[in-house]
Structure 1
Amino acid sequence: MCTNSISKLRYIVLIIGLIAPISLQAQHSHFTAADQTHSDDPRGTLEMDWKLPNITKVVTAAWGFSFGIETYPRKGMPIQTLVDGKICQTGSYFSFDVDDDFIYDVDEDITLTVLMRDKGCENFTITYDKNVQSMAQVFATSTPIGNGWYEATVVLERARFVNSGHAGTDFTITAIGADAFNLKMDETHTLTISNITITRDKKVATAKPKGKLKINTADENGKIVPARIGIYALENNWMPLPSNKAIGFDYFSDKKNELFLRSQGWRPDYWPSENRHFFYTDGNYTANLPIGKYKMIISKGPEYLISETEFEIKQKEITDLKIPLKRWINMPENNWYSGDAHIHFQRTKKVNQSLNQIIQAEDVHVSNILEMGNPGGTHFHQYAYGKEGQYINGNHALVAGVEDPRTVHHGHTIALNVTKNLHNRDDYFLYHKVLAAYKKQGGTTGYAHVDRNWFNDEGGLALDVPLGVIDFLEIMQYGEMQTHLWYHFLSLGYKLLPIAGSDFPYLDHPGSVRSYVKIDGTFTPENWFKGFKAGNTFVTNGPMLSFLVNDMPMGATLELKKGDVIHVKAEVKNYIQIDTLDCLELVINGEVVKKVKATNGANTITLEYKQTIEKGSWMAVRASGKDRALAHSAATYVHIDSSGHLQKNTLKETAQEQIEYLETLRDNNLKELLEIEYHEAAPGINELWLKHKDEMNDRINEVIKIYEDLLKNNQP
């Protein structure tokens, strides 16, 4: 994938340069002249010149992402080889589009027979479009058939094949060594395929006659509103393809009108169906469906009850369903508005309306649409920033932001509500410069994916937090809530806000996690960000929090005297259909000082706590359910005689931890192979890093001195 600043010719030269080191019997590069499927695709998608029976298209990519499964070819881009007179393709990742005239929109077992050459082919992975299961993965083993050739026969159960994979494909084959985020580049990183035979395991069934379905979704006031919908046959849980009345959108560069809820991870989103495929509508939906009985699930974000309806489609009849969506809570009534800090869509003015309908379907009030960068360029381009880049419809808004700078060396940064994208390759590793510039624009800055051990955010945060260029940490994502680093920085005396981001399309659907913010006055993006900066915010995947200390809201700083009393009042409410509450906890200086368990399946827990305050402290509340529900408030700060909230009793541990992160960052060599967009970020990255290394090390040493001074001047 190349950005606007990299010509197609340069990119093809780059790919040839990447594949040369792994060539075993290379004859020539085999990509067509029109290789790129889209100029804004960060995956580096290339269409291969490879003819196979019943296959209309084969694509590969520098970073493979299909059916929710990632692959990291890096230097494993395909080459064409000739072995025993057979044309073969050697690579890490191949995604195949089956001829729609042969197989399309089915629910049957499909058999693949794969002819392979010896090196690295003993084990491989197939992912495919499967009915009911949204992230279908099969691990295959080949057997020798003589003269260095292997064969594997794999049955893809309940295959669907509706072109929903990478670049409109139906199944992928991946080398076992390339399906993990590691630096392993041995023979298991590539495999050599000569031929694939596809066999249908049953005759094509006669198509059922159809009837018409009409659906209207309305809010509590009777207004037609967008919603998320899943429709499933009661007989086998099959979901018919959405009609063209579903909202279409770009998923990376692929055109789609359906998605699926992630089924993997720590706490996947609740959905009352084994089939997790769904689509969005603007509130009015029509489709022609095969006759039969169906179950329909409709949702509209965590403030609404999930609707479940059974209906029957009869031949040549219209089934007209008017579904009222009911709230269990109305947060905007009390000036609380939700936001998702981390969404990626390429955005033009033309797509604003449809994107806003998707956001309304999930009831996210402020959606931060991030242009994403790496040292080689940017993706998910935004047509404008600031006021010009906002699109507002009622109390739902799209706001342009950036995820950039962004490296595996010291983390991914986010800047929200900025007026200009400051992508600058020349200073790329000097994060503090661009973050400080974004703050001058009035933006709000932070780190993504915190505490996930993906991109060395711990090193970046250790470096940037003391320099005052960080406002927030993305602690809630992918069904998880990570607080270790955040708690330690709070105990070091810094004020940092929690934020939640879905990271669509990489991790979750928009609004899967969100930040609620209390605003003053009417809803505007500016008031939302003002409220967020003030700290009156909490992150959640469903439960709703309230938290007061001496009647002051989340994020407040209380100036008290030693011996004064703090009075904490907190409450969590939860939609019991999604999860049953487990507990509500009060955390002071990183320790749980009070925990209230839910009783008798209650969907509300209240907590009260009084304490004489003896030292500066930070405090927050967090809630969890028995299965998936999570929420965490921002911190409230208590300062005694303006002493701050640094915790001397844990300072040795917390400061030394940051010093160790910085020493590791200073000593680490660049690991460019771990960059997700390796094909784009790698050219010249070593020279760029070496150019910045001395200045970075000076900053690291400067910040180590800050931590050492904290230790020296704040002995317990």
Structure 2
Amino acid sequence: MHLSHIFTTVRVLLLLSFVLVAPAIVQGAYAEYELRVVDAQTQLPCSAKIRITNSRDLPQRIDGGLMIDGTAYFTGSLKMKLRPGQYGFRLDAGPEYPFMEGHFILQSGDTDSRTIELKRFIDMKKEGWYPGNLALSGRTNDLETIMLADDLVLGNHITWNNQINPWAGKPITTLRDEFGAFRSLWEMGGEDNRAGGKVWFARLNEPLPVQRLQPEYPAATFFQGDLGSAHVTAASPLEPDLPLWIARDFLDSVCILGPEIEAYQFGPKHPLAEKAAEIRKGDVTGKARLALDIYYKLLESGIRMPPVAANGTDEEDRSSRLDRVYAQVDGDYSPVAWWDAVDAGKVFVTNGPLLRATVEGYPPGHVFPINIGEKHEFQIGLSLATRQTIAYLEVIKNGEKDLEISLDEYKDRRGILPPVTFTDSGWFLVRVVTQEADYYQYATTAPFYVEANGQPRISKSAAEFFRDWVFRRAMNIDLPDGPQRNEIIDLQRDARDFWQKRAKMANAP
């Protein structure tokens, strides 16, 4: 356990003041400044992003950098031309480096340059953990810059959706864009976003014909026979057809973390409309916590579904947040090995802290066999590196909080958690939550599973929750009477039977 990384807040404050003597001051002239960033260990140019604000806290546009939501992304160096004045800045090269923030002053006619060395406080790749983003959209060159600055290894590039297919009539010459030594952008990613909800596709050889489809017909599962080895992700646990997709074995993962979840809009006919209405006005964490609650119910119903994360960037309003999924790759890294690790649930998701956990030497996703009725204690080995202040740490067992401790208590325990005890089938995971107030900032491991006598835990109430969800969804299918409506209703009826059968198989309340 890396105790030096446990609950470490890494913050570097710099005050840069440049006052150059000039023979004459010209009113309204600009100052020029060049910033170079290198990795402290290798001395090689480092990709980063910087947000510069003026005295009124307004972000400044920096020509020469890729501007996203007031932040300039760049590789190696960035030349800035700014009016005289006082500026604040925040420099970031991804969650494995400390961020830098501070102020500087420029006077008219100033010309200067600085080189900043960034030193990793942790190298996740050396531990076998590689970060990816399941939904990136925009131009390939821009996404390469974003991935380098955010220190992402793998991205799924959403290039086609219900409105566009830029590949139509064109030869497909490459499925992956390889850059930056070992980084990959999978170019054939796509999206189907209709009445049943949003799904993302990865690892396809060609786009799916989802353009000009009706909102309700056909169901997204219509394309299931064409997927081959593709990876299908529900964009959130809040999608209306989630129980149907699960019943049809359509999904490979569920995105539980990302800005799109916090911006999710519930219509009055959404199956979760009543639950969404319970979220207090002004509660910026409510939708994110509801998404987690739904994901836990999936696990409670015996569905072993890996969690993933995405920041859902798009051309108009890109996010510079660090939502991502880390996958643990055994041996040499390759993109295929990364996807295999995701499929196996050997992951954790985060938009801040870097949380790794093992149990008896195994990563998340592992299934521990036990004999029913025999007490078995599982000791969690935990490593945590963070730039944020941690509010609390939790162990979630079978959907309920088994343990919650504060930073001080965790330190007092010298990083050793009490064991998690099982005498029957179940699952557990570890989650840490920060003190960020503007959104729900946390990290969570994927589940570890406990299987007594070869049977997974299946909660009757969780299965009935999804059965009732299907009823509400089916009641609001917006199609006229006829063959198409009958086909969709038959799918929903099959999903209802799936969840009803699961409820009868239940071995837990």
TM-score interval w.r.t. the shorter chain? 0.7 to 0.9
Question: Are 1:432 and 2:213 matched, yes or no?
Answer: no
Q: How far, CA to CA, are the matches of 2:366 and 2:128 in structure 1?
A: 17
Counterpart Cα distance in 2 of 1:599 and 1:287: 43
Q: Does 1:474 align with 2:255?
A: yes
What SS does structure 1 have at the residue aligned with 2:49? strand
> 1:213, 1:320 within 8 Å by CA — same for their partners in 2?
yes
Contact 2:61/2:72 (8 A) holds in 1: no
Mapped partners of 2:311, 2:178: distance in 1: 20
For the aligned residue pairs, the C-alpha RMSD in angstroms reads: 2.9
Answer yes or no: is 1:231 the counterpart of 2:12.
Answer: no
CA distance in structure 2 between the partners assigned to 1:500 and 1:385 by the alignment: 28
- Secondary structure of residue in 1 paired with 2:326: strand
Question: How far 1:404 moved relative to its partner?
Answer: 3.0
> Cα–Cα, structure 1 residues 460 and 690, in superposed 2: closer, same or farther, change >3 Å?
farther
TM-score normalised to structure 1 length: 0.58
Choose from 617, 632, 638 the match for 2:450: 638
Work out which of the residue numbers 379, 382, 391 in structure 2 matches 1:582: 391
SS of the equivalent of 1:523 reads coil
Quickly say closer, same or farther: Cα 1:316–1:474, change in 2 above 3 A. same
Question: For residues 370-409 of structure 1, what are the structure 2 equivalents within 5 Å?
Answer: 370-374=158-162, 377-378=163-164, 388-407=175-194, 409=195
Note the C-alpha offset of 1:618: 1.4
The unaligned stretches of length 5 or more in structure 1 are 1-205, 248-257, 261-276, 452-456, 671-685
Q: Distance in 1 between matches of 2:167 and 2:352?
A: 30
The aligned counterpart of 1:242 is 62
**Structure 2 counterpart of 1:222, one-letter code:** Q
What does residue 703 of structure 1 align with?
Answer: 495
- CA contact 2:306–2:344 (8 Å) conserved in 1: no
1:553 alignment counterpart: 363
In structure 2, relative to structure 1, the CA distance for the partners of 1:636 and 1:497 (3 Å cut) is same
| Equivalent pairs, count | 445
1:213 aligns to 2:33 (yes or no): yes
Q: Report the AA paired with residue 568 of structure 1.
A: Q
Structure-1 residue corresponding to 2:273: none
Question: Which secondary structure state, in structure 1, belongs to the residue aligned with residue 94 of structure 2?
Answer: coil
Would you say 1:694 and 2:486 are equivalent positions?
A: yes
The structure richer in strand per residue is: 1
Report the CA distance between 1:336 and its aligned residue.
Answer: 0.7
Amino acid at match of 1:664: R
Q: What 5-or-longer segments of structure 2 have no aligned partner?
A: 1-25, 263-287
Distance 1:561 1:398 in 2: 44
Partner of 1:303: 96
CA contact (8 A) 1:215 1:286 kept: yes
Is the alpha carbon distance of 1:338 and 1:512 closer, same or farther for their aligned partners in structure 2, counting shifts above 3 Å? same
Q: Compared with structure 1, are the counterparts of its residues 316 and 507 closer, same or farther at alpha carbon in structure 2 (3 Å cutoff)?
A: closer
Q: Distance between the aligned counterparts of 1:444 and 1:430, measured in 2?
A: 17
Deviation at residue 394 of structure 1 after TM alignment: 1.7
Contact 1:558–1:637 (Cα < 8 Å) also in 2: yes
Secondary structure in 2 matching 1:606 = coil
Contact 2:410 2:416 survives alignment (8 Å): no
Shift of 1:435: 3.6
Structure 1 residues 305, 715: CA separation in 2 closer, same or farther (over 3 Å shift)? closer
CA contact (8 A) 1:545 1:570 kept: no
**Mean Cα displacement is larger for which, 611-620 or 507-516?**
507-516
Q: Distance in 2 between the 1:384 and 1:537 partners?
A: 35
> Which amino acid in 2 is paired with 1:433?
F
Looking at structure 1, the residues matched to 191 and 203 of structure 2 have their Cα atoms a distance apart, in angstroms, of 13
Q: How far off its partner does 1:534 sit? A: 1.4
Q: Supply the distance in 2 between the matched residues of 1:656 and 1:626 (Cα, whole angstroms).
A: 35
TM norm structure 2:
0.80
Q: What is the alpha-carbon distance in structure 2 between the residues aligned to residue 319 and residue 301 of structure 1?
A: 26
Structure index of larger Rg = 1
Matches within 5 A, 1:233-632: 233=54, 235-243=55-63, 245-247=64-66, 258-260=67-69, 277-345=70-138, 347=139, 352-374=140-162, 377-378=163-164, 388-407=175-194, 409-424=195-210, 428-438=217-227, 440=228, 442-451=229-238, 457=239, 459-478=240-259, 480=288, 482-505=291-314, 508-510=318-320, 512-562=322-372, 563-571=374-382, 573-576=384-387, 579-599=388-408, 606-627=415-436, 629-632=441-444
Identity %: 19
- What corresponds to 2:271 in structure 1? none
Distance 1:585 1:354 in 2: 37
* Mapped partners of 2:400, 2:59: distance in 1: 47
Note if contact 2:458-2:507 (Cα within 8 Å) is conserved in structure 1.
no
Give the aligned residue type for 2:503: L
Letter in 1 for 2:112: T
Shift of 1:339: 1.0
What is the DSSP-based 3-state SS (H/G/I as helix, E as strand, rest coil) of the residue aligned with 1:700?
helix
1:510 CA displacement: 5.0
